[in-house]
Chain A
Amino acid sequence: MAVPKRKMSRSNTRSRRAQWKTAAPALVSCNQCRSPKLPHVACPTCGTYNRRQVIEPSA
């Protein structure tokens, strides 16, 4: 079975992990309450989607 010949240095490990980045999600404002929410998803603040009450708003 193929195995690494050398221990990977901290520098190489950290260089690789430096490319792990997160991206902020694109948000839109809710029609009903104007709070930011994910597009195409019911608003978690007021619980509506297309002005239709889908869920109870989570406090």
Chain B
Amino acid sequence: MPKPAKGARLGGSPAHERLILANLATQLFQHGRIRTTETKAKRLRPLAERLITKAKKGDIHNRRQVLTVVKDKGVVHHLFTEIAPTFAERPGGYTRITKLGPRKGDSAPMAMIELVSEPLNAVTTTRTTPAATPAEEVVELPENDTATAEATPADEAPADAAPADEKTESKKDEA
């Protein structure tokens, strides 16, 4: 069951809050970025991202569900045809909120909420394999016979790959 939002509704009544958030979502999809108060931006974010998720599915049922919030058919068309394809491979997190500091008249904290337009960064994982392979090589040399270890650098300095393979094979046999 959905958990009701705590605290007062924006604008005083639930109906007014629905209207405010629907208008903000419409303006966000129309302009790409809007400047509003931090509170409204934070309340708008889950609604806007839910609408974009529906737009990514793109069928007529989802379009009708979005139309219950965003009344403007032109904006909904823009959302489904222009905005949704840009978020095709992005798994959520379609909007970004940046704080802008207090407003002049009433010192209300303002924020900029915008649709993320940057391309998705490739996931980079830091594996320990590059660090592990030199460590193994260092360990291999003392374990081998001292005669072969001394002979291989002197005799076959250019052909490093073949002795290394032989060493690993001999190690596997021993182990």
Please determine whether B98 and A54 come into contact, CB atoms closer than 8 angstroms: yes
Please determine whether A38 and B101 come into contact, CB atoms closer than 8 angstroms: yes
Chain A contacts of B88 at CB under 8 A? none
Chain B contacts of A44 at CB under 8 A? 100-101
Chain A contacts of B112 at CB under 8 A? 42, 54-55
Please determine whether A55 and B100 come into contact, CB atoms closer than 8 angstroms: yes
What 0/1 pattern do residues 30 to 59 of A give for CB contact below 8 A with B? 000000001011101000010000110000
Minimal Cβ-Cβ distance residue in A for B100: A42
B 104-118 contacts with A by CB, 8 A = 112
What 0/1 pattern do residues 3 to 42 of A give for CB contact below 8 A with B? 0000000000000000000000000000000000010111
CB distance from A41 to the nearest CB of B (A): 5
CB distance from A40 to the nearest CB of B (A): 6
Minimal Cβ-Cβ distance residue in B for A43: B101
Chain B contacts of A42 at CB under 8 A? 98-101, 112
Of listed A38, A41, A44, A49, residue having the most chain B CB within 10 A: A41
CB distance from A3 to the nearest CB of B (A): 31
CB distance from B147 to the nearest CB of A (A): 59
CB distance from B100 to the nearest CB of A (A): 5
Cα separation A44 to B35 with both chains bound (whole Å): 14
Chain B contacts of A38 at CB under 8 A? 101
CB distance from B109 to the nearest CB of A (A): 9
Chain A contacts of B100 at CB under 8 A? 41-42, 44, 54-55
Chain B contacts of A41 at CB under 8 A? 99-101
Q: Which residues of A contact B (CB under 8 A)?
A: 38, 40-42, 44, 49, 54-55
Q: Which residues of B contact A (CB under 8 A)?
A: 35, 98-101, 112
Instruction: Provide a sorted-by-A list of 12 A–B residue pairs whose CB atoms are within 8 angstroms.
Output: A38-B101, A40-B99, A41-B99, A41-B100, A42-B98, A42-B99, A42-B100, A42-B101, A42-B112, A44-B100, A54-B112, A55-B100
- Beyond A40-B99, A44-B100, 7 additional contacts (C-beta under 8 Å) are A41-B101, A42-B98, A42-B101, A42-B112, A49-B99, A54-B112, A55-B112
